[in-house]
Structure 1
Amino acid sequence: MTTSSTREVLDVIQAPDATAADFAALPLPASYRAVTVHKDEAGMFAGLESRDKDPRKSLHLDEVPVPELGPGEALVAVMASSVNYNSVWTSIFEPVSTFGFLERYGRTSPLAARHDLPYHVIGSDLAGVVLRTGPGVNKWHPGDRVVAHCLSVELESADGHDDTMLDPEQRIWGFETNFGGLAEIALVKANQLMPKPAHLSWEEAAAPGLVNSTAYRQLVSRNGAGMKQGDNVLIWGASGGLGSYATQFALAGGANPVCVVSSPQKAEICRRMGAEAVIDRSAEGYRFWKDDRHQDPREWKRFGGRIRELTGGEDVDIVFEHPGRETFGASVYVARKGGTIVTCASTSGYTHEYDNRYLWMSLKRIVGSHFANYREAWEANRLIAKGRIHPTLSRTYRLEDTGQAAYDVHRNLHQGKVGVLALAPREGLGVTDPELRARHLPAINRFKDA
């Protein structure tokens, strides 16, 4: 439920005849509700295994002051957001506390010092409405309906001007910066903003941002694997937040996804997306590690044989990697000669081990990929807006239930993405192109129906 400080904002957003002038004249509230972690609790899970750390204990719903608006920035009324794995990492203070990021950022400039606070407003996705823009912002105006990608850059170094992901001051908003999207108001740089897809509700529009852009760069972009028609693409966690978009990009781009999942229900979701080659690793009993220290190459070989059964005898051209330690040895082994293993995360552990003979003697490549630059994020969002790629939202939580949402993602109890309502009072609001929506409704609801 909104508080009195943000209710007037919501009233104007919901007014069918509200104009840009109405938004510009709207007084900013002094405070807003936000999901936070607290600096003085950073050690609360000391001694516990990752699996036993509970986001429901560390995530708070606080009333916090609206931050000062700086040049090139925008304040956005957040109608909906979503939970990504970086929000889980923040909530369990792994691999490190995010307050170290905020302290280092705060030392870079007087304006950045706003981010160094004893609380961290988290969240790296949003769909909402622009309330204010700072000096130097010309493209966006109060009242614009937007989504935000999570790349925050300074671009004062030459390194970032070919690929903004290479900016030395590149950060992930809501993870390495403060004032994120799991809140009623968020502070972003104006070059994070993109048009909200008109046929989607607020929560549907908020869900793709981080994972859709990450999957686009990792799989499609020349900065990642550069997927082409006819490629066989092994996708780990193919029904999850990242994998569900990778599967769609493979299908839309004329490639053949080989989807790896962990249950019959998740296998069925992949088939609903149009994938034909699906491996339920739990049902088929793959165990790539004999124990904590030793992998089992026989299981790599068995896994590779199963892939070839599904591809007509071919090895995979691309491996879409993100589990990390648990799967990386198998990923290097099963890629074809000259193939590419592209990795963007390590959700099962950061220390990757593989047999280098299968890399160097077969001329394979390992490519690191991290989120996406503005152009890549814009292209990924454009495909959403055109109805070529669809949100994979399965469930939506209230802002006050974000701890439970993060817990469910942490324990892999979810399908696709989980959304969080911020200012939006209920699901299903925000659609302005019902005709396009009607054409794609089965695909939009695919994960909800599951």
Structure 2
Amino acid sequence: MLDAILASTASDSGSHTVTAADFAALPLPESYRAVTVRKDEAEMFAGLTTREKDPRKSLHVDEVPVPELGPGEALVAVMASSVNYNSVWTSIFEPISTFNFLERYGKSSPLAARHDLPYHIIGSDLAGVVLRTGPGVNAWHPGDEVVAHCLSVELESADGHNDTMLDPEQRIWGFETNFGGLAEIALVKSNQLMPKPKHLTWEEAASPGLVNSTAYRQLVSRNGAGMKQGDNVLIWGASGGLGSYATQFALAGGANPICVVSSPQKADICRAMGAEAIIDRNAEGYKFWKDEHNQDPREWKRLGKRIRELTGGEDVDIVFEHPGRETFGASVYVTRKGGTIVTCASTSGYNHEYDNRYLWMSLKRIVGSHFANYREAWEANRLIAKGKIHPTLSKTYRLEETGQAAYDVHRNLHQGKVGVLALAPQEGLGVRDHELREKHIDAINRFRNV
């Protein structure tokens, strides 16, 4: 299988040397290697604080059987994947064990029962090659080079047909479903597939999917903040997995990002992306909480003053929120009258507290945003493919090192995104459009060079 993929992608011209029929004729293995958490270890971190929980102890590389292929699905040979924060949540069994998701999904249909297993194959990104397609799949064929977004929907309810994220059966693949992308083979619904950007390596192409699509919906889409030219956008963690794409979208869309970072190195990354307004929250000593129960409004005001110094006296139109509890009170306060706080996560805690006077009396909006629908994911991937937005890959690990990769993300020791090689034997493979790559090579390598 790997030999066929490498032979197919070896041509600089981009022409296939192995046909779709050749791929369809390849025998599937009976089993494959995958990164898993185990159901019988779900209580292994009981009594520990979040920070004390170590993904290196809970993530395993196991040999697992190839799942049955159902209608509308595809099996993909995974060349590379990446670690997202949902992989960290799964690995530390917070806020609940993901086996709860798998059990609930398994009860929904006989086909979904495949997902309810004593192990959970994690991972919500991939770049690879289609191996097999199930009945009813016409748009994709064996041998197609693809990336996958992580939205899994059934669309049997009317609720999801204006926006598939509103489907009552909406799930995040590899987090709320099994057979995820941190593995040598993955099972996806065919409507998760998108064309692999031809100028990127496997590991580069695998890294944007979840965070790029999430940032697109959250910031650009009408379902999120609906950013426009000239907007001032406060971006927490502006050099991180989500924030680095939000920063790029703001710059590409004519907005003014105000990038909040936690070190001079991360500030340098934001400057390299083209941002000028930068706040190093550690260097400037912001402490939004006096203690566990009380916030410090004086710090909100100090942040607001600093923002106005950077914007020529203007408050922010949009706050790109994802830290959650630690920053949310400040985010509500500093947003301009009529502005928008859009949130997609709570990495520092789910129980947000803010002073509602600054929300209702100033007509501000809080918008919840979760991943992206297929159209938004496709548009976000299209911008990657055109070289308008670039991957933020900083480091790549082997499949056996996924525990360490998740640990680094958990402890915020990383920049941008970290990739994981699955079937790809080394970095640097899979490029088809060398001319486009050369045009953007500095931007592609921006996070590696820090």
After TM superposition, the score normalised by the length of structure 1 is 0.98
Q: Give the SS at the match of 1:52.
A: coil
Question: Where does the alignment leave 5 or more consecutive residues of structure 2 unmatched?
Answer: 12-16
Supply the distance in 2 between the matched residues of 1:398 and 1:358 (Cα, whole angstroms).
Answer: 47
Q: Residues 23-102 of structure 1: matches in 2 within 5 Å?
A: 23-102=23-102
Supply the distance in 2 between the matched residues of 1:105 and 1:117 (Cα, whole angstroms).
Answer: 11
Supply the distance in 1 between the matched residues of 2:405 and 2:422 (Cα, whole angstroms).
Answer: 13
TM-superposed CA distance for 1:8, in Å, is 5.3
Residues 238 and 260 of structure 2 are in contact (CA less than 8 Å); yes or no, is this contact kept in structure 1?
yes
Supply the distance in 2 between the matched residues of 1:278 and 1:30 (Cα, whole angstroms).
Answer: 52
Task: Give the equivalent residue in structure 2 for 1:116.
Answer: 116
Q: Please give the root-mean-square deviation of Cα atoms over the aligned residues, in Å.
A: 0.9
Q: Residues 33-432 of structure 1: matches in 2 within 5 Å?
A: 33-432=33-432
Supply the distance in 1 between the matched residues of 2:301 and 2:42 (Cα, whole angstroms).
Answer: 43
Supply the distance in 1 between the matched residues of 2:36 and 2:155 (Cα, whole angstroms).
Answer: 28
Deviations 1:125-148 (A, max 9, x none): 000000000000000000000000
Supply the distance in 2 between the matched residues of 1:279 and 1:288 (Cα, whole angstroms).
Answer: 15
Supply the distance in 2 between the matched residues of 1:120 and 1:15 (Cα, whole angstroms).
Answer: 34
Task: Give the equivalent residue in structure 1 for 2:14.
Answer: none
Q: Give the SS at the match of 1:154.
A: coil
Deviations 1:145-195 (A, max 9, x none): 000000000000000000000000000000000000000000000000000
Residues 5 and 129 of structure 2 are in contact (CA less than 8 Å); yes or no, is this contact kept in structure 1?
no
CA separation of 1:13/1:405 partners in 2, compared to 1, >3 Å: closer, same or farther? farther
Supply the distance in 2 between the matched residues of 1:144 and 1:10 (Cα, whole angstroms).
Answer: 10
TM-superposed CA distance for 1:7, in Å, is 4.9
Q: Give the SS at the match of 1:275.
A: coil
TM-superposed CA distance for 1:22, in Å, is 1.0
Supply the distance in 2 between the matched residues of 1:168 and 1:85 (Cα, whole angstroms).
Answer: 23
TM-superposed CA distance for 1:19, in Å, is 1.2
Q: Give the SS at the match of 1:113.
A: helix
Supply the distance in 2 between the matched residues of 1:8 and 1:232 (Cα, whole angstroms).
Answer: 50
Q: Give the SS at the match of 1:447.
A: coil
TM-superposed CA distance for 1:37, in Å, is 0.1
Supply the distance in 2 between the matched residues of 1:391 and 1:316 (Cα, whole angstroms).
Answer: 26
Supply the distance in 1 between the matched residues of 2:3 and 2:395 (Cα, whole angstroms).
Answer: 27
Q: Give the SS at the match of 1:51.
A: coil
Question: Where does the alignment leave 5 or more consecutive residues of structure 1 unmatched?
Answer: 1-5
Supply the distance in 2 between the matched residues of 1:242 and 1:289 (Cα, whole angstroms).
Answer: 24
Supply the distance in 1 between the matched residues of 2:358 and 2:337 (Cα, whole angstroms).
Answer: 9
Q: Give the SS at the match of 2:427.
A: coil
Residues 13 and 129 of structure 1 are in contact (CA less than 8 Å); yes or no, is this contact kept in structure 2?
no
Return the letter of the residue paired with 2:220: V
Residues 12 and 22 of structure 1 are in contact (CA less than 8 Å); yes or no, is this contact kept in structure 2?
no
Supply the distance in 1 between the matched residues of 2:97 and 2:384 (Cα, whole angstroms).
Answer: 33
TM-superposed CA distance for 1:15, in Å, is 5.9
CA separation of 1:29/1:125 partners in 2, compared to 1, >3 Å: closer, same or farther? same
TM-superposed CA distance for 1:18, in Å, is 1.2
Deviations 1:53-78 (A, max 9, x none): 00000000000000000000000000
Residues 12 and 23 of structure 1 are in contact (CA less than 8 Å); yes or no, is this contact kept in structure 2?
no
After TM superposition, the score normalised by the length of structure 2 is 0.98
Residues 199 and 434 of structure 1 are in contact (CA less than 8 Å); yes or no, is this contact kept in structure 2?
yes
Supply the distance in 2 between the matched residues of 1:82 and 1:13 (Cα, whole angstroms).
Answer: 23
Task: Give the equivalent residue in structure 2 for 1:3.
Answer: none
Supply the distance in 2 between the matched residues of 1:11 and 1:390 (Cα, whole angstroms).
Answer: 24
Supply the distance in 1 between the matched residues of 2:108 and 2:299 (Cα, whole angstroms).
Answer: 49
Deviations 1:291-343 (A, max 9, x none): 00000000000000000000000000000000000000000000000000000
Q: What is the number of residues matched between the two proteins?
A: 445
TM-superposed CA distance for 1:12, in Å, is 5.4
Return the letter of the residue paired with 2:183: A
Deviations 1:96-115 (A, max 9, x none): 00000000000000000000
Residues 131 and 142 of structure 1 are in contact (CA less than 8 Å); yes or no, is this contact kept in structure 2?
yes
Supply the distance in 1 between the matched residues of 2:158 and 2:20 (Cα, whole angstroms).
Answer: 36
